Amino acid sequence: MLSAIARSIRHKLALVVLATTLAALLVTGVSLVIYDLRAYREAGLDDLAAQADIVGRASAPALAFDDPKAAGEYLGLLGAKPAIAAAAIYSAKGKLFASYTRKNLDLQLPSLPEPDVARVDGASLVIFRRVVENNEILGTVYMKADYQVIGRLADYLGIFGAVTLFSLLVGLGVFAWLQRALTAPLLNIAGVTRQVVERKDFSVRAQRTTQDEIGDLADAFNAMLAEIGRRSEALEQSNRFLEREMAERQRADAELRRLNEELERRVAERTSQLEAANKELEGFSYSVSHDLRAPLRAVVGFSKMLIEDHAGQIDAEAQRKVGVIQSEAQRMGMLIDDLLAFSRLGRKEMSSADIDMTGLARSTFEGLRAQHEGAAPEFRLDTLPRARGDRVLIGQVWANLLSNALKFSAKRDTPLIEVNAVTDEKDHIFFVRDNGAGFDPRYQSKLFGVFQRLHHSSDFPGTGVGLALVQRIVVRHGGRVWADGKPGEGATFYFSLPRGAPHGNA
């Protein structure tokens, strides 16, 4: 039955009407019962208090003249009040002076009076009222009356049941009217909805039977069906178009996979060719270096012998030229060494370790300073963050950057070299700053190229390979290298290292 109620709006509407009526009756009835019972209790106590006052005033002379008989006659008049079960008069000393008990009722009167009080004691109302005459307490009146709250509550419940039954019948009548006015048009729309769902036919329409909001709902429902029909047709056309597009996409994907496979095959072929070419290039570089070193050693050796054995037979200009031959041969030997180091760097395996960058930079500078022949520079080294990487390769980075700083600041009266670092969310950024010759920012892109120099070798000796080595090492560690400077105002070289482990070979 509950499932039928959940599906039927008629049952729901009936439940709403009946539940609303019953709830209103319950709230009203309970409120009235509570109010009436409270009023009944207060009225009973007030009436009993009035009776006690009357008896007290009437019995005051009897108390004053110690006449229990007269007081008993006054109490006997209470027989006209069937609700009063018992009454008593106590003297000022608390002794029972006169009493009254309803016929056929065995009650025990209080042995002592209480102060002025009015209360409900179970199914009875109890009151004690003092008798006062000329500001003198002559005694106390006690009364006990029936408190018939159960009977009164039963009467109310009977009345409430009859009213509830009548109200529910009226509610059913209201429901019958609402069903004709509201439910029937809604059920008509629900029936049309079921037809649309079951048959997928958007041409059916709901009939408008009223001129109110439900009629407007029927018109809106019909308009919605028309719009859904149009969109359904458009959707079917779109689905057919998408099916064609999907078929074409599948053909294109198949062609793309074929091209990718062909590309992978060609990449593999080119990779094997490049590996073979690299091996040949490595062998060629070793052969060239070996073949170049032999004649260079001969040039250096014979020029040295020429100076030592025939110094008296050649003039000063010839000796100078022979010295130029020796220095250029030595520079060419350094160039060959740097070129070999640059080529070997791509084959060297990297090992990752925790590096004390402050200690590494300090020890590298001290080693370079011992070999430096110029003025002693001022070296400012701040505390650097630790990094991870290949200690030997990172040491080569510090050696090349600090060597350049020493070399290009040597001609200053007070050379200054500063090493520091900053840290952001991803990288540690280290830098070496000097107050040396600097460079023209327009040619900054040439700084890290092999054999690229921005100063003449006669002013600052070198092979032009050191910064290229720095860039290659830092890039293999997942970082980058850059620089800024101005002619005559010094230069600053930066390199960054990731805060995690290095990326590996590059």
For 329-370, how does the pLDDT look when each residue is reduced to its tens digit (9 = 90+)?
665 665 565 556 555 555 556 678 899 999 999 988 888 887
The HSE-up count of residue 293 (CA atoms within 13 Å, CB side) is: 11
Sheet strands (E) in 414-471: 416-423, 427-434
The better pLDDT of the pair 491, 217 is held by 491
Can you say how many angstroms the Cα of residue 446 is from the centroid of all Cα atoms in its chain? Answer: 49
Provide the 8-state DSSP code for 211. Answer: S
Can you say how many angstroms the Cα of residue 92 is from the centroid of all Cα atoms in its chain? Answer: 82
The percent of residues in the chain predicted with pLDDT above 90, rounded, is 6
Determine the residue type at 471: Q
Most confident of 217-221, 371-375, 481-485: 481-485
Q: What is the 3-state secondary structure (H, E, C) of 356-407?
A: CHHHHHHHHHHHHHHHCCCCCCEEEECCCCCEEECHHHHHHHHHHHHHHHHH
Sheet strands (E) in 405-444: 416-423, 427-434
Least confident piece of the model among 117-121, 339-343, 384-388, 464-468 = 339-343
Q: With CA atoms as reference, report the closest residue to 422 among 471, 365, 383, 391.
A: 383
Read off the pLDDT of residues 409-423 as tens digits, 9 standing for 90 and up. 877 878 898 999 999
Q: What is the pLDDT of residue 418?
A: 92
Whether the CB-CB separation of 127 and 49 falls below 8 Å is answered with yes
Whether the CB-CB separation of 401 and 458 falls below 8 Å is answered with no
The rounded mean pLDDT for the chain is 76
**What value does the mean pLDDT take over residues 182-210?**
68
Looking at CATH, the fold of the domain delimited by 2-168 is given as Beta-Lactamase (3.30.450)
For strands 84-91 and 96-101, give the pairing: antiparallel
β-bridge partners, 483: 493
Instruction: List, by residue range, all CATH 3.30.450 domains of the chain.
Output: 2-168
**What value does the mean pLDDT take over residues 135-141?**
85
Read off the pLDDT of residues 460-494 as tens digits, 9 standing for 90 and up. 444 556 788 888 889 888 899 998 888 878 889 99
What is the DSSP secondary-structure string of 154-187? HHHHHHHHHHHHHHHHHHHHHHHHHIIIIIHHHH
Q: What is the largest CA-CA distance in the chain?
A: 179
Q: How would you class 419 by CB atoms within 10 Å of its CB: exposed for 0-12, middle for 13-18, buried for 19 or more?
A: buried
The better pLDDT of the pair 446, 408 is held by 408
Number of CB atoms found within 10 A of residue 14's CB: 20
50 in helix, strand or coil? Answer: helix
Can you say how many angstroms the Cα of residue 226 is from the centroid of all Cα atoms in its chain? Answer: 45
Instruction: List, by residue range, all CATH 3.30.565.10 domains of the chain.
Output: 351-498
What is the DSSP secondary-structure string of 73-99? HHHHGGGG-TTEEEEEEEETTS-EEEE
Q: Alpha-carbon distance 78 to 83, whole Å?
A: 9
What is the DSSP secondary-structure string of 301-347? HHHHHHHHHSTTTS-HHHHHHHHHHHHHHHHHHHHHHHHHHHHHHTT
The HSE-up count of residue 267 (CA atoms within 13 Å, CB side) is: 6
Q: What is the 3-state secondary structure (H, E, C) of 11-43?
A: HHHHHHHHHHHHHHHHHHHHHHHHHHHHHHHHH
Whether the CB-CB separation of 433 and 492 falls below 8 Å is answered with yes
427 in helix, strand or coil? Answer: strand
Does 319 have pLDDT greater than 60? Answer: yes
For strands 117-121 and 124-133, give the pairing: antiparallel
- Order the strands of the 427-434 sheet from edge to edge: 378-381, 416-423, 427-434, 491-498, 481-485
Superfamily grouping for domain 351-498: Histidine kinase-like ATPase, C-terminal domain (3.30.565.10)
Q: Tokens representing 156?
A: 């109310």
